[in-house]
Amino acid sequence: MLRIARVGLDVPLFQTFDFLVPTSLDLSVGQLVRVPFGRRAGHTELGVVLELDSKSDFAPERLKPIDSAVEGVATLDPSLLELFGFCSRYYQAPLGQVITATLPPALRAHMRAEASAKRKAIHAAYEITDTGRVALLTLPKRATAMRLLLDALGGQPHTIGALRTIHARAGALLRQAIQHGWARQSTAQATSTVATIGEVPELTADQKRALDAINQPGNQPRAHLLQGITGSGKTEIYLRLIANALSRNQQSLLLVPEINLTPALLTQVTHRFPSARLAIAHSGMAANERLADWLDAQSGEAQIVIGTRLAVFTPMPSLGLIVIDEEHDPSFKQQEGTRYSARDLALVRASNAKIPIVLGSATPSIESLENAARGRLNLIKMSSRAVRSARLPIVEFVNLNAEKARDGLTDSLRRAIEQTLARGEQAMVFINRRGYAPALHCPSCGWMPECTRCSARMVFYRASQRLKCHHCGADSRAPNVCQKCGHAELHAAGQGSERIEDAVIAAFPNARVARIDRDSTRRRGEAERLLLAAEQGELDILVGTQMLAKGHDFPKLTLVGVINADSAVFAADFRAAERMAQQLMQVSGRAGRADRPGRVLIQTRFAEHPVFQAVSHHDYDAFVAVALRERQLMHLPPFSYLALLRAEAKSKEAVSAFLAQAQSLAKQYAAPLDVKVWEPVAATLERKAGFTRLQMMVQAADRKQMQRFLVDWLSDVREQKFSQVRWHIDVDPIEV
């Protein structure tokens, strides 16, 4: 009898592809296979079997046989395939592309045959040698990472996976240690796969109430929104819930918004559950390590998975808990390929699996708070800090209309930093802008260097004397003279984190200063090294961007200075005020988390703005109440649903013609479904990487009506012949 497999592939087509199943293959739905695809002889592509049948619309002689099944990989379970299906339908993306994009790159790169061997090697145990013990005593202080690794190996044998919880570059460090004779593979067993629980702190009254609310039996909502002020101990709630899941032999999935937050959470989880098998899932991992951890999660060996947004698709056969830390963070929304929200998909996955899910944040998204008000989420509040002697910081404003900032720093902020250092405490200077200055300008004619490919100015980096575009990556030598009038001197306009770092070093030459942003932490492991040094009190002043704003606990940090806080006050995006409130609340929460009082100084010209007032009174709910009233009046989310059709082309005429045609096609479907189609407009950044970018928004009061409209409309749009235009749909966009 003829056996046909319908396979999903990584192609931008809303269809599956039929292949013959060889008699030697025993396939099932969800199995990963290699299939011949394309014109090159012998070339195969990775796909997933989505359906098995005995007939095809194509003649058997036209069908090609499946090349092979991917070895060492179990089939994707039905619940995960259900999640992929929902993601494909809701975000209007081809199912094959949705699935294959979530698989470890090593699988897509033909490394599947070596999967088992790599997995075995990664889970071998390593220990310190006698030579290593001597090295541990003699290594220079600056060799922080190597000392950490050797110290860990001196306690008990560790796997590479376990060592990565200590340092992101554990693999490279271990190879170096083995070469020097400081470490070797151990004949003893590594950490057990049976989880044990380390030291457990006493719960506060708030934490007890929160846990009781989540664990309460009966018909309570399984989806919980945990709104706890910064320092209230939300992580302890997560750890207790993981312990409960482990006691039931269930797996736990923890999602964090950014890679740099993973090590801190890993450390806490490892200390609490020293013998639990952990898996990590984020794009910064080496390919073989990522594959090994993915396989461990799929087999059920990994009891806890910690990762960024892509980890929401991790196969976990005994999943019993999902936690989303910093649920409000925009990093949970994918901005390339399938534009999915990991937070929203996690809610779907938890609902399908009938397991608890906890969304945690000090500053929840307005959408999540409104969902709680409508009964879709169980709102739990924690309003006191976990350290009993800790208090919320005092928030003060420095009026930039009355006090001038020299190199970004006012005298008030300089004095506050000086007083902080005199007490032996740490200070943080926060500015959410990289580089030395946002632009160079000519004082004679006003010329400013602009990116030739984007409608944006080039950012000046003084240390390297380079101009860089933060949108397309263009990089060039900074000119010495004005390119328009020939003036011999160019001035830096505005401040970035590099300039603030220079100003801080000049003002406090004896202080230990470190800048933490995407530029200073490009080297693998550098962010972990700097954050660890800050936590251990080896730094006096931290200068940085939003990388410092959330998730970190610096016991000695008592002062936070905020620079350039006014940049979002008059932004066009209706979510700008919400993001600013969240960011300021989060960064303010870094101060005074231990037994020392905290202080926050915000340099601004608009101290009476509702956002600043909410921050000064630590009253995020007051800001949300105002924002909700405004959005309801303007019929904006969460009181409506949006989708953006974004298009780009080298020619503005081509992209304009495409959107005009798309707008015309939309009209026949919009009216019956009460969907509003807006006029095409320029994107916030109209030109990027040489492409002109326009967009068109559609809006609906009902989510189901929006989905019905998108299915019919986009089906017509895909049939249009605009070869010069690249386009995509963004459902529930976070940037408009």
What DSSP letter does each residue of 28-82 carry, written as one string?
-TT-EEEEE-SSSTT-EEEEEEEEEES--SS-GGGPPBP-EEPTT-PPPPHHHHH
Nearest to 207 by CA among 51, 387, 41, 40: 387
pLDDT at res. 269: 87
Residue type, 573: D
Stretches in the chain below the pLDDT threshold 70: 109-123, 161, 165-166, 168, 187-198, 218-221, 261-262, 389-390, 550-551, 594
Domain 4-77, what architecture?
Answer: 3-Layer(aba) Sandwich (3.40)
Q: Is 395 left (phi over 0), alpha (psi -120 to 50) or beta?
A: beta
pLDDT at res. 231: 85
Please report the beta strands in 392-522, taking only residues with DSSP state E, as ranges in sequence order: 394-399, 426-430, 439-441, 459-461, 466-468, 475-477, 491-493, 513-516
pLDDT at res. 198: 64
pLDDT at res. 276: 86
pLDDT at res. 187: 64
Write the pLDDT tens digit of every residue in 74-114. Answer: 899 999 999 999 999 999 999 999 999 999 988 876 544 34
- The token pair at 316 is 């976990």
Nearest to 539 by CA among 521, 522, 557: 557
Fold of domain 394-437+494-629: Rossmann fold (3.40.50)
- The token pair at 310 is 């892509």
Residue 122 near residue 289, CB atoms below 8 Å: yes
Residue type, 263: P
Q: Which neighbouring-strand residues pair with 457?
A: 450
pLDDT at res. 122: 54
DSSP string, 630-675: HHHHHT-TTSSEEEEEEEEESSHHHHHHHHHHHHHHHHHHHGGGTE
Q: Where are the domains of the chain?
A: 4-77, 124-185, 205-382, 394-437+494-629, 641-731
Nearest to 164 by CA among 69, 251, 284, 55: 284
The reply to whether domains 4-77 and 641-731 share a CATH topology is no
CATH 1.10.1040.10 fits 641-731, yes or no: no
Domain 205-382, what architecture?
Answer: 3-Layer(aba) Sandwich (3.40)
Rounded to a whole number of angstroms, the CA Rg of the chain reads 27
Cα 98 to Cα 16: distance, rounded to the nearest angstrom: 13
Cα 302 to Cα 281: distance, rounded to the nearest angstrom: 12
